[in-house]
């Protein structure tokens, strides 16, 4: 878990570095969300359960099985980008092989998909659980309501995870909703809503484990609200100085989920400081090597522009 959190952070830092170098036109950062993503992604079973992420979920797709190399293929819009072959903006994940459902840029449109997948999984007699992630801004959308409502009515095997970082781009939570906790909305759908410290990876894990077990047992959905913070602007094209003070951002970093987890690991005697340092060094070397490999991969061929509008047959 710790290594995955570190990987996500280093992918982020490298991506912004590449953005400043002019090699990556667009970056969607994850930093600050590693705890809630790794905690809520970990209880699902890669290769079996279904992942319905949104664009900030670098750590979620790492857990699902996407490699940093594949993530950088997307960042550089390369032909072999597993999500879209360079068609979509970076961080618009998807891989049928890995059970990561392709998503778009409009917010919360993936939420009814998660409910539909959960219906199909139960109909087919599977014990699949669907994980669905989004930000707090998504909870204002009609699609979000419609997805949770349907899942609640039919007690579907799906867990909804809100990564609440208090800002939907620039709009702060008090202008997004009149309530303190997104989790309160769950009562309107007839299933539990749980608030968890999104910077405490183990607390997120525990909440998700309970929710996944409940879903797999046929007891229906859970809405988990993981309260967290994003350290970078919304994207590389955003300037968060217009809506957040530097003091607020620096204050939030005192709650860095990676630093907190490292402290826990040291306190519990699981890892010592040199081991933790080694994880960072190894991961950085690994990530950097995969950047180079991805950078050198082939670009998409413009003649493929017209492909895959419909299913291609007869060797087309």
Give residues in contact with other proteins (CB under 8 A). 50, 81-85, 87-88, 92, 94-96, 101-102, 104-106, 109, 111-121, 123-124, 142-143, 145-147, 149-150, 153, 307-312
User: What is the nearest approach in angstroms of other proteins to the Cβ of residue 58?
Assistant: 19
User: What is the nearest approach in angstroms of other proteins to the Cβ of residue 245?
Assistant: 35
**Residue (68 or 147) nearer to other proteins, CB:** 147
**Residue (10 or 61) nearer to other proteins, CB:** 61
Catalytic residue status for 230 = yes
User: What is the nearest approach in angstroms of other proteins to the Cβ of residue 314?
Assistant: 13
Among 17, 243, 244, 260, the active-site one is 243
Among 92, 166, 185, 230, the active-site one is 230
**Residue (178 or 310) nearer to other proteins, CB:** 310
**Residue (212 or 279) nearer to other proteins, CB:** 212
User: What is the nearest approach in angstroms of other proteins to the Cβ of residue 144?
Assistant: 10
User: What is the nearest approach in angstroms of other proteins to the Cβ of residue 92?
Assistant: 7
Among 113, 166, 214, 234, the active-site one is 234
**Residue (111 or 252) nearer to other proteins, CB:** 111
What is the b/e burial string over 288-310, where b = at least 16 CB atoms within 10 angstroms of the residue's CB?
eebbeebeeeeebeeeeeeeeee
Q: Which residues are catalytic?
A: 230, 234, 243
């Amino acid at each position: 878990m710790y290594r995955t959190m570190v990987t996500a952070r280093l992918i982020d830092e490298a991506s912004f570095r590449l953005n400043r170098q002019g090699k990556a036109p667009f970056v969607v950062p994850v930093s600050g969300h590693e705890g809630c993503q790794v905690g809520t992604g970990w209880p699902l079973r890669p290769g079996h359960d279904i992942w319905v992420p949104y664009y900030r979920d670098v750590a979620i797709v790492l857990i699902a099985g996407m490699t940093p190399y594949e993530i950088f293929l997307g960042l550089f819009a390369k032909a072999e980008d597993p999500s879209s072959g360079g068609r979509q903006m970076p961080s618009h994940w998807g891989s049928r092989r890995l059970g990561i459902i392709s998503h778009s840029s409009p917010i919360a449109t993936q939420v009814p998909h998660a409910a539909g997948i959960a219906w199909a999984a139960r109909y087919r007699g599977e014990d699949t659980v669907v994980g669905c992630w989004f930000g707090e801004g998504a909870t204002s959308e009609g699609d979000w309501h419609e997805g949770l409502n349907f899942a609640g009515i039919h007690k579907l095997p799906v867990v909804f995870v809100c990564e609440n970082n208090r800002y939907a781009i620039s709009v702060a939570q008090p202008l997004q909703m009149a309530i303190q906790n997104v989790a309160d909305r769950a009562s309107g759908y007839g299933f539990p809503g749980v608030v968890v410290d999104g910077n405490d990876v183990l607390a997120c894990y525990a909440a998700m484990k309970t929710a996944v077990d409940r879903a797999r047992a046929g007891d229906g959905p859970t809405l988990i609200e993981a309260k967290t913070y994003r350290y970078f602007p919304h994207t590389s094209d955003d300037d968060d100085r217009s809506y957040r003070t530097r003091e607020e951002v620096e204050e939030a970093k005192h709650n860095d989920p990676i630093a907190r987890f490292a402290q826990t690991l040291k306190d519990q005697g699981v890892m010592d400081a040199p081991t933790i340092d080694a994880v960072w060094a190894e991961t950085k070397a690994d990530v950097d090597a995969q950047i180079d490999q991805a950078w050198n991969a082939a670009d998409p061929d413009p003649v493929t522009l017209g492909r895959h509008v419909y299913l291609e047959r007869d060797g087309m």
